[in-house]
């Protein structure tokens, strides 16, 4: 059996020293993905034509919110 650099327990990424570095790195990647999604939504929903506010809200709830709220 090979030792692991980090493992997941109850949604948190732990490392042997319990510094949560792996968890923070993963959360930062999720935040970056969420920011990319928001930027794409802004391009789709410009003021002249594009997505309605209801459609933007639906996209936010289905795409961005899960990235920010999971573990």
Q: Is residue 2 part of a domain?
A: no
Q: What domain range includes position 64?
A: 7-69
Q: Give percent above pLDDT 70 in the chain.
A: 93
Domain count, the chain: 1
Cite the beta strand spans of 1-71 per DSSP E: 7-9, 12-14
Least confident of 14-18, 48-52, 57-61, 62-66: 48-52
Q: Is residue 31 part of a domain?
A: yes
Residue 65, both tokens:
């919110």
Q: How far apart are CA 58 and CA 20, in angstroms?
A: 32
Q: Is residue 50 part of a domain?
A: yes
Please indicate, yes or no, whether the overall pTM of this predicted structure exceeds 0.75.
no
Q: Is residue 58 part of a domain?
A: yes
Q: Give backbone dihedrals phi and psi of 19, rounded to 5 degrees, phi first.
A: -95, -10
């Amino acid at each position: 059996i090979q030792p692991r650099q980090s493992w997941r327990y109850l949604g948190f990424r732990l490392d042997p020293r319990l510094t949560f570095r792996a968890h923070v790195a993963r959360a930062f990647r999720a935040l970056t993905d969420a920011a990319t999604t928001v930027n794409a939504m802004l391009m789709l929903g410009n003021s002249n034509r594009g997505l309605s506010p209801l459609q933007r809200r639906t996209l936010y709830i289905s795409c961005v919110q899960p990235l920010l709220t999971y573990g």
